[in-house]
Amino acid sequence: MVELLSPLRAVFEWVGALENSIALRESIYAWALVLTTHVIFLCSFAGLITMMDLRLLGIGHMGTPFSQLQRWLFPWQMATLAGSSITGLVLVFSDPMRFYVSIFFWVKMATMALAAVNAMAFHFIAYERIAEWDTSPVPPLGARLAGGLGMLLWANIIVNGRLIPYNWFL
């Protein structure tokens, strides 16, 4: 793990030495406000994704066809994803080494990559045949799998994010 990441260490150290990075790190209020905004955006995003996932699993929002529900949720999912990504980048920018040394941070990043793969797989497999199951009470296996995985992955991302301040594995 450590060897795998070591080429990145120089980049993280370089960013951490930038004037703006130091200024942000030393400002108590800026850091706290960006962190709080990040938590709220991330939980809102994960929540809006979870609502879609519950529909994919066939256990929630069954009164609405999937396509209709998701057409409504999608722009808000994108808006909250943008909000959490921007605030997340600012947090890493302001204190890169804090994140570099945290196993939870890297697990969070890896889990996000898996969640993206899961979303793409859903888009190109189950969603291709949406017309066949849009109003069906039991979505196809591919859709249920994507929904279940999505919920698990995003719960994991929240948990790992919250655990970043704890350095149990150092």
Partner 1 sequence: MLLPYFEWVNNLPVSRAIGESALIYPVVQSIHLVFLALLVGGIFMVDLRLMGTSLTSLPLAKVARDARPWVIWGLVGMLVTGIPQLMQNATREYHSEFFWFKMQLLPVALIYHFTLRHRITMAAEGRVPPILSKLAGVVSIALWTSIAVSSRFIGLFT
- d(C-alpha 157, C-alpha 105), whole Å: 9
- d(C-alpha 151, C-alpha 59), whole Å: 13
Q: Least CB distance from residue 28 to partner 1, whole Å?
A: 8
Q: Smaller CB distance to partner 1: residue 14 or 76?
A: 76
Q: Smaller CB distance to partner 1: residue 15 or 152?
A: 152
- d(C-alpha 32, C-alpha 23), whole Å: 13
Rg (CA), the chain: 19
Q: Least CB distance from residue 91 to partner 1, whole Å?
A: 13
In Å, what is the CA distance from 73 to each residue of 21, 46, 59, 155? 35, 12, 17, 19
The phi, psi pair for 49, rounded to 5°, reads -70, -40
Q: Least CB distance from residue 92 to partner 1, whole Å?
A: 18
Q: Least CB distance from residue 49 to partner 1, whole Å?
A: 8
Kindly report the length of the chain: 170
Q: Smaller CB distance to partner 1: residue 17 or 110?
A: 110
The phi, psi pair for 8, rounded to 5°, reads -80, -20
Q: Smaller CB distance to partner 1: residue 97 or 156?
A: 156
- d(C-alpha 165, C-alpha 170), whole Å: 12
Q: Least CB distance from residue 103 to partner 1, whole Å?
A: 13
Residues that bind partner 1 (CB under 8 A): 32, 35-36, 39-40, 42-44, 46-51, 54, 60-64, 68-69, 72-73, 76, 154-155, 158-159, 162-163, 166, 168
Q: Whose CA is closest to 13, among 96, 105, 89?
A: 96
One-letter identity of residue 90: V
Q: Smaller CB distance to partner 1: residue 41 or 122?
A: 41
